[in-house]
Chains A and B, each alone.
Chain A
Amino acid sequence: MKISLAWLQEFIDLPTTDVDELSYAFDMLGHTVEGLERLDAGWSDVYVGEVLEVAAHPDADKVRVCQVDSGTGPTQIICGAWNFETGATVAVARPGAILPGDFEIGQRTIRGVESNGMICSEKELGLGEDHAGILVLDGAPQIGTAFADLVELPDVVFDLEITTNRPDALSILGIARDLGAWFDAATHIPLLELSTVPGDTPISVEIADPSGCRRFTAREIRGVTVGQSPLGVRHRLHKIGVRSVSNVVDVTNYVMFELGHPLHAFDADTIVGDHLVVRRATEGETLETLDHVTRQLSTDDLIIYDAAGPTSMSGTMGGARSEVSGDTTRVIMEAASWDPPTIMHMWRRHDLRSEAATRFERGVDPALADVANQRASAMVQQIAGGEVLEGAVDEVAVGFGPWTVELEMVEVTRLLGEGFDAAGVKGILERLGMEVTGSDPLNVTVPTFRPDLTRPADLVEEVARIHGYDKFDATLPTGSAGGLSPQQSRQRLLNSTLNGAGLSQAINLPFVSVEDLQGLGLATDGSDLLTVRNPLREEESKLRPTILPGLLNDLRYNQSHGNVSVALFEYGKVFSSDPDPDDPRLPLQYDRLAWAVVGDVGLRGLDGTELKADGPLSLAIWRHIAGALGIEATLTPGSHPAFHPGRTAAIEVGGMVIGHAGELAPTAARSFEIEGRVAVAELDLAPLLEPVPPPLFEVPSVYPHVDFDLSFLVSDDVGARALLEVTTQAAEGLVEEARVFDQFRGDGVGEGSKALAIRYRLRASDRTLEQKEIGAVRAAMIEAASEVGARLRGA
């Protein structure tokens, strides 16, 4: 909300006008300064002048030749505006004057006639938007007065963020009250005397729905002349960003910004009958609002009716039918107290946010309704003329009044520390407008303009706020024993291990499209997915049951941006529409880990060739992390619709298949428009993070080792792991290390077979191995290989 410092000063005796000190006070009061505008006159050499004579231009019919006295005697000025005649008081820019925008006024000759200066419009002076004609001054200011003396400049406009719990602070009065407590300065509402004439406001009001309206005040002003507001009013509204409409409408805005209570002015002559009813709308009814939109009303809308039907929407926007116009002479000034949730729902339903709705949805002080009504009526009388009828309508459907909160001092000291005593707390609360009796507990009477203060904790916050958050010490709690859990530490290790293998972490939005799942080969029509009821975009409606589509889309995105080698992993929640077995009120959601790698890996194979991502690489990544995390797993040929049928392993940990690793199926790669083979995997995360027992030390043997190679021919359907296992077992504990160092298919190796060359290292822990024993073990290993159908190559 914008606050003009000059206007604010009418409500409080500020001890300082220093902008930094005031900004600090606003920030510390919780009304954060979001913007600051220093307004200066922005012009020089502009004076009040009187138009002495207006004559036609001999050679131009769109301008007139005026004789104007701005304190230096009659001066000739040519003017293109027609909204004034002889005798008008105007703002005259003398030759040499500078107007906003560095516009210098000189002496000119227009079609042969000399012009010595300019008669200014409101817009040219930066005082408002009005550019239709020149600014005609009211109030008969002295001719020759510097025009700057007539306007409220310089001024400072603060743009404050008002939190939703403080509807009272959406007003100059509320801000003045807070500043008054901060500076311990006096605040007041500037006097505006209401004089009335005998007679009753000739309408009656019925609040048929007390849940929506607790109070309704109305007051008639008759004999009003609707026209432009005086410059001072227009200028103040302009400074805080409010457009001037007409004197009557301007008053409703002006008083709302002063006091925080919205008002509405009806043209009394458009009200049909003499009875207004406040009730919820009936389905099918319509109402044309001031913005000339015809609204379909719902049974939740709270509407003011006259004999002809809906006439105004409560608290959000008036109706077009009863709008104040230039012909209006009889005004009904309304100030009513509306139910916050009702207004909140209504403006949202109709997309009708207004200054009034913003205040009502947060809660406007019902005690303020007639104060605002009287002030607005008095101001209408002052600037639009007319008479205010003495008898006003004031229907109260639900009573209101201050309430009491009991505040024990221990509540204050427990949260804020020992530095507070009852007298200090009492002083702060009283400065905020509360009445306080007693010492401990304090009996605090809260005024109706602070609906946010209903509990002791609310008052404690007020004490802290006015004391000043900056004045509190910085201390640390005595603390507790914390730390990362074993699982969290292992997650860090897993992340580092993947980074060390060249994979970067991706984070994708956890949504998925049915097309992408089908592209992966998964049979789904989307109905089995967890679905957002109110997605903003269709793309954000289905929660992912797998992480892979996000990663695969990342690969495509990277390839399309020229990043040919991409290695990504991601972990996070996947979702299912099944209930969570541990809490059936919730859908199942659990963490998975996935990776996807394409292109050059940046490593060479044993034969020196550059490795490219493929199924074996994915298995290497798995072994790398399993090794780092000490995970015992069994890999068997796996099958998964998204994976290559011959290049995929099912990974089993603790007797459960936790996922798959291998190569992306070519159909899936095509569907995601990825070039090249893709190493992929997706696994349950929790089993990987389960702590493993610390390994026990084995003393390295002090005896010499023996290395030899064996090359076997074996069927393609036998895994290397099986061959290694049987041969190692046959050596009865003597194999220290065994590693396949070559795999070959082709010449000399039968169809459906492969040659595997294995290097074994044998070593005993208690003796040097003799040649004879080595020969026997080697023979036993070769013999054992036949258990998996392998025979020595060349044998």
Chain B
Amino acid sequence: MSNLPPDMDPIATLDEAIGSAPAEIAGAASLDELEAVETSLLGKDSAIGSVRRSMGGLDDELKPKVGAKLNEASERISELLADRRAELAALEEERRLGEEMIDVTLETVQFPAGALHLVQQTIDEIVDIFVGLGYQVVAGPEADLAYYSFDALNTPPTHPARWEQDTMYLDWGDPADEINLRPHTSTVQVRWMETHDPPVYVVVPGRCYRRDTIDATHLPVFYQIEGLAVDENIQFSDLKGTLLHFAHEFFGPQSEVRLRPHFFPFTEPSAELDVSCFNCDGGEPGCRVCGGAGWLELLGCGMVDPFVLEAAGYDPAKVSGFAFGLGPERVAMARHGIDSLRHFIENDVRFLKQFR
């Protein structure tokens, strides 16, 4: 440790230190070098350090002047150091970030993600549209009395749908109460109305069974979404408006619907609903969805037959209603261009995960 040489003027020494500091500080190329520069400028062995140490031996007259100069020098140099430190830190971070570059196309982290079955997604989406219209979602048994599958729905005992060629019957229970695997979720119409007073606004998604061989367009077990609205003053135009709303929500606001007369034992008047093709927007020859027809046959519907209302204990003179039934698998096939219903029961994850 050296004291200030007796022949040196402390003020001049400090002025010199202030004068040379900017160049020395600027010369530090890294935070480590800057630390060394700081020691050389402000440390014990620095000019400033020497002056500070020699303060005790100064004349009283000189002391305040040198003290003030000393403060000025160390403040000035500290400022310069701080500025340079910030500069170097920024440069250093810039360099480090440059080195941390990643391949954004490389999937290094993956969250596991499963998918709902496409049929379930389709059902949920359709059901939600009707929930938005004030419908409830209800269910019923899959193995049910023939009464609910047929009799209560105005299907005569001789109707072919009841025959063993078409409907699966169970070997169970009292032969008088014939039990079948329901061929449609329309079974829930009378089941629900028997135990609930009007108004009724319900949709019934569920599994149905028919004696069909598995192929591209048939499954022995499939889903159906039944809709039923019974209230005072329900008219044919309400059926049309409800299904138009559904088409707009599901297929897009450009969709049009068309009702064509048809026949079902449990509705009168009955209709089939066509929706304008969402793919070609109508009549493009060879369209993969509509085949050029411009329309897709979507569902069967109609005004609830008075027989059904009576079977449920309702008075057809006081309330009226409409019902419809659509197949979510068919809707999904059309919408996603799926070629065969077999995909829906194979549960190949390469199918399932395509629809997340």
Contacts and interface: CB of A to CB of B under 8 A. Distances in A.
B235 interface: yes
B352 interface: yes
B143 A557 contact: no
A510 interface: yes
B220 A540 contact: yes
Most buried by A among B170, B212, B306: B170
Contacts of A523: none
A557 to B, nearest CB: 7
A587 B173 contact: yes
Interface in A456-497: 457-458, 460-461, 464-465, 469-470, 472-485, 488, 492, 495
Contact of A473 (B165, B179, B233, B237): B237
Given A27-B258, A30-B261, A505-B117, 14 more contacts: A28-B261, A166-B263, A414-B320, A464-B236, A469-B271, A476-B245, A482-B135, A483-B136, A495-B120, A505-B114, A506-B352, A507-B347, A561-B350, A586-B141
A97 to B, nearest CB: 31
Interface of A is mostly: mixed
B165 A416 contact: no
A585 B170 CA distance: 12
B268 A563 contact: no
Interface string B172-215: 11100101010000000000000000010100000100011100
A457 B268 contact: yes
A485 B137 contact: yes
A390 B220 CA distance: 56
A580 B261 CA distance: 40
Contacts of B141: 580, 583, 586, 589
Interface stretch (B25-33, B68-76, B156-164): B156-164
B217 to A, nearest CB: 15
A692 B192 CA distance: 27
A470 B143 contact: no
B7 interface: no
Given A416-B235, A469-B271, A510 B207 contact: yes
Given A534-B168, A585-B174, A558 B348 contact: yes
Interface in A577-622: 577, 579-580, 583, 585-587, 589, 601-603
Interface of A: 27-30, 32, 163-166, 340-341, 344, 348, 414-417, 455, 457-458, 460-461, 464-465, 469-470, 472-485, 488, 492, 495, 498-511, 530-537, 540, 543, 554, 557-558, 561, 563, 566-569, 572-573, 575, 577, 579-580, 583, 585-587, 589, 601-603
A601 B137 CA distance: 35
A415 B173 contact: no
A499 to B, nearest CB: 4
12 contacts: A472-B236, A477-B201, A482-B134, A500-B111, A500-B113, A502-B113, A530-B172, A536-B213, A543-B143, A567-B112, A567-B114, A580-B141
Interface of B: 110-117, 119-120, 124, 130-131, 133-137, 141-145, 158, 160, 163-165, 168-174, 177, 179, 181, 199, 201, 207, 211-213, 219-221, 229, 231, 233-238, 240-242, 244-245, 257-263, 268-272, 303, 305-306, 320, 344-350, 352-353
Contact of A557 (B114, B120, B348, B353): B348
A458 B131 contact: no
Contacts of B271: 469
Contact of A476 (B136, B168, B238, B272): B238
A26 to B, nearest CB: 10
